Chains A and B, each alone.
Chain A
Amino acid sequence: MWLQLLAALTLFWEKLTAKMQKTISPKIHKFTLSEVSQRQILQEKSKYPHPKTAILPGLHIAYRESGYLSPEVLKDVAILLEFPYTEVSEVASFYTMFPKHKVGKYFIQICTNISCYLCGANGLLEYLQQKLGIKVGEVTPDGLFSLGTVECLGSCDTAPVIQINNQDFSENLTREKIDQILEKLRSQK
């Protein structure tokens, strides 16, 4: 009988602490994401037939604000969506569109897949590396630009192509066009 009572008490204690963790932790957690993003992520929670589906949309919102997914940001998403941190970071690590380390303000990704390669992507990559003075995976000292390669962007009729900050494509690129794009981005700062 004592054993049964002890088991019941343990179960009660576990349930209580689990409930407390769930309800209290968001309050004591210091969020990295802005309140707007937090609200948007919370809205995703009830949108789908299963709450776990909201993880990827949640990561998109977090990425849009922070530009890369740091452990702190992943923790925010996990707490907001009420999933363990590991579950969220496991998903995030699979999807290459989200950088996991700090990148430049303008993250330039060059398509190096077959159609772009056939239309001069190697030369484009070299030109960009030379213009910015950095290699793929690096950030310029002023923190403005970083370079990455990306697989086929589905814009092969306008090769070679780059994508900046995972937004719209810059297509049919030439040296002149690259110069203009970089100049424009520099002036925006």
Chain B
Amino acid sequence: MKIVFKNINKPEQYKIENYIKNGGYQALPKALKDYSPDQVIEVVKKSGLRGRGGAGFPAGVKWSFVPKSIAKPKYLCVNADESEPGTFKDREIMEKDPHLMIEGAIIASYAIQAHICFVYIRGEFTLCARRVEQAIKEAYAKGFLGKNILGSGFDLEMMVFRGAGAYICGEETALLDSLEGKRGLARVKPPFPAVEGLYKCPTVVNNVETLANVPDIILNGAEWFASIGTAKSTGTKLFSLSGHINKPGNYELVMGTPLRHLIYDLGGGIKGGRKFKAAFPGGPSVPLLIEKHLDTPLDFESLQQAGSMLGSGAVIVMDESTCMVEATRILIWFFRHESCGKCTPCREGTMWLHQVLDRIEHGKGRMEDIDLLLRISDNIGSKTICALGDAAIVPVVSSIQYFREEYEYHVKHKSCLTHTVAPFN
């Protein structure tokens, strides 16, 4: 069952004529002619579509928060700042099927009555930016963008805006600051962007994959989409499989597919036939899963029950040779580096986490450092403006929870319990 990836491998699908040939731009006229903006929101609400960027907030509900009677302009921002380690699904959509995202974004803009739409693409994705820019040009030429789209009276301007290497700009309020020409710092919520976002105007920020689901929901109906997956996690989800795996890549799975199926059947199992040790099921911002969790269905609720989260869908697989202390140190360095520095617990806390982990990894740790790590984490969690602080402590807390003995071994023996550095040949 494929929705977002149904045409992904068709030749030159990124060109508008091929997108149209394969059934594209049929949802847009339907939305504009058959539905009022409110009806579009209702359909998406009923479909149960939840945000695919990490938080999993219902997309239709988010759209309905935009005040209707307000005189200010409204904006849609496509969050294409895909930076969560291990995630590369939006990149594939934008490189191979950008019109799917664009069609979804036009429909979403119509629903919230936005007349300007920004596509915020992370700076490193140069091919994505080229493809999306070209696709936008093609859409203008065919009358899907611009003034009076398909004679409906609805106007929409769409433009690409490139980030420049800041992970935090994937956080929706930091993305807005970045778009306003400032440093990308997270904002205190409320006010939420739907009420006061870009240039203090109502703004919706949606992930690329979320929007790529919208055309099919409009075409096939809310009931059709809601019938796929589980009751509360409807539809499909893209999973970016990477790490110690034989066949890494993006896989579109119906919500609720077990992790084991993804790793062993689709991903071809662990490299070199080694044993599975742990995996982040939704990027390193969500807690680890270990062997006993292999049969966990991949959907919002089941992963929460297993003590983790669906996150961005980046499944990073680690085999038995991985040193969890070193893996955690690498991730904490990442969060330390990417903390925007606006609030103290995150800015200072991630620095301390990294320094303590660094000394444990290099054989200078003390036994009490392990609990110190947990204490620092406790002083960051839920005490920061945005979710980066909460995300940063996740690898630390969950690796200590499942692999405390590795930390103790490091302190006692000043070396790794299992470490085999991956070869580069």
Q: State whether the Cβ of B173 lies closer than 8 Å to any Cβ in chain A.
A: no
Minimal beta-carbon separation of A126 from chain B (angstroms): 8
Residue pair A115, B424 in contact (C-beta under 8 Å): no
Closest residue on chain B to residue A155 by CB atoms: B88
Contact at B199–A157, with CB atoms within 8 Å? no
Contact present for B199 and A49 (CB under 8 Å): yes
Chain A interfacial residues counted at CB < 8 A: 52
B422: Cβ under 8 A from any A Cβ: yes
With beta carbons under 8 angstroms apart, the residue of A119, A157, A167 that contacts B88 is A157
A59 near B240 (CB under 8 angstroms)? no
A98 within 8 A of B: yes
Known A-B contacts A157-B240, A166-B126; the reply to A113 vs B422 at CB < 8 A is: no
Q: Which of these, B84, B86, B162, B241, contacts A56 with CB under 8 Å?
A: B162
B120 to chain A, nearest CB (A): 10
A53 lies within 8 A of B180 (CB): yes
B35 CB, nearest partner CB in chain A, Å: 27
Tell me the interface secondary structure of chain B in the complex.
loop
Knowing A152-B83, A175-B425, the reply to whether A50 touches B162 (Cβ < 8 A) is: no
A174 is an interface residue with CB less than 8 A from chain B: yes
8 Å CB interface, B397-425 against A: 421-425
**Binary flags per residue of B124-156, CB closer than 8 Å to A gives 1, else 0:** 111100000000000000000000000000000
Point out the residue from B86, B163, B166 that lies within 8 Å of A115, measured CB to CB: B86
B166/A114 in contact, CB under 8 A: no
Question: Are A120's CB and B165's CB within 8 A?
Answer: no
Contact with B along A145-173 (1 / 0, CB 8 A): 00000111111111110010011100001
Residues of A within 8 A of B73 (CB): 49
Q: How far is the CA of A163 from the CA of B91 in the complex (A)?
A: 15
Q: Is B242 an interface residue (CB 8 A)?
A: yes
- B164 touching A98, Cβ below 8 Å: yes
A60 adjacent to B425 (CB under 8 Å): no
Q: Which residues of A contact B166 (CB under 8 A)?
A: 94-96
Specify which chain A residues have a CB less than 8 angstroms from the CB of B124 in the assembled complex.
Answer: 97, 150, 153-154, 163, 166
Q: Give the most central of A52, A53, A54: most B CB within 10 Å.
A: A53
Q: Does the CB pair B240–A156 fall under 8 Å?
A: yes
Q: Are the CB atoms of A55 and B318 closer together than 8 Å?
A: no
Q: Is B327 an interface residue (CB 8 A)?
A: yes
Interface of chain B residues 210 through 258 with chain A (CB within 8 A): 240-244, 248-250
A90 at interface by CB-CB < 8 Å: yes
Which of these, A53, A91, A123, contacts B421 with CB under 8 Å? A123
Cα A128 to Cα B278 in complex, Å, equals 30
Pick the residue among A49, A60, A157, A163 that contacts B162 (CB under 8 A): A60
Q: Does A57 contact B (CB under 8 A)?
A: yes
Closest to A98 in B: B164
A171 CB to closest chain B CB (Å) equals 11
Q: Are A50 and B424 in contact (CB under 8 A)?
A: no
List 17 A-B pairs, Cβ < 8 Å. Answer: A96-B337, A113-B331, A114-B86, A114-B243, A114-B334, A115-B86, A118-B316, A120-B425, A121-B422, A123-B422, A124-B424, A154-B87, A154-B122, A156-B248, A157-B88, A157-B241, A173-B424
Chain A residues near B (Cβ < 8 Å): 47, 49-57, 59-60, 90-91, 93-98, 112-115, 117-124, 126-127, 150-160, 163, 166-168, 173-175
Top 8 nearest A-B pairs (CB, nearest first) are A123-B424, A97-B165, A52-B181, A95-B164, A156-B242, A120-B424, A157-B248, A94-B183
